[in-house]
Amino acid sequence: MEHQLQHTISLLARTPAVLDELLRTLPEAWTRSNEGKNTWSAYDVVGHLIHGERTDWIPRVKRILEFGESRAFEKFDRLAQERESKGKPLPELLDEFARLRTENLTMLRALNLRQKDLKLRGRHPSLGVVTLSQLLATWAAHDLTHLHQISRIMAHQYRDAVGPWSKYLGVLHCAGHSA
């Protein structure tokens, strides 16, 4: 499947409601538990997604449009949510994520990107040259990697409870590549 901006926007627009339905009123035993020392809970993942909306995706789109390859993106702080989410209840984080995502998609649509703009190039601090198309596809795939992670974190809480069925439940055999 080739990258199509409309498909990317379709998916990006849905993620806040998906996480809202899954997490907003779920017991904290599900949302605040993690996979062990130095791993994230679903709560932590929502904080990470918020930080991405603030500092990663749209700022990088703008950097490409303004500076092309001449100025690399800022590095992304993968631990920022530990400071920024502190003390906030999960429903507040879900509201914040939904609001920021809506704002960012409004901004993205307003840029009115054409097919040829998607070929514009920028510079990632570690990966080197990347295209605007790759950046936008990654924004969507990044939502999916964290939905994948949240379902794995939550399933982990029932690892013992399922008894011999653990053998058949693929999610319990996932090596945690998105931790």
Give one DSSP letter per residue of 76-139, joined into a string.
P-TTHHHHHSTT--HHHHHHHHHHHHHHHHHHHHHH---TTGGG-EEEETTTEEEEHHHHHHHH
13: which 2 tokens?
Answer: 């627009």
Q: Which of residues 115-174 bind a copy of itself (CB under 8 A)?
A: 124, 127-128, 130-131, 133-134, 137-138, 140-142, 144-145, 147-149, 151-152, 154-155, 157-158, 160-165, 167, 169-174
Q: Tell me the residue type at 22.
A: L
Residue 31's CB: how many other CB atoms inside 10 A? 21
By CB under 8 A, name the one of 34, 39, 55, 178 that touches a copy of itself. 178
Least distance to a copy of itself, CB of residue 109, Å: 17
- Based on its alpha-carbon atoms, the radius of gyration of the chain, rounded to whole angstroms, reads 18
Residues in contact with a copy of itself by the rule CB under 8 A: 1-4, 6-7, 10-11, 14, 17-18, 20-22, 25-27, 29-30, 33, 124, 127-128, 130-131, 133-134, 137-138, 140-142, 144-145, 147-149, 151-152, 154-155, 157-158, 160-165, 167, 169-179
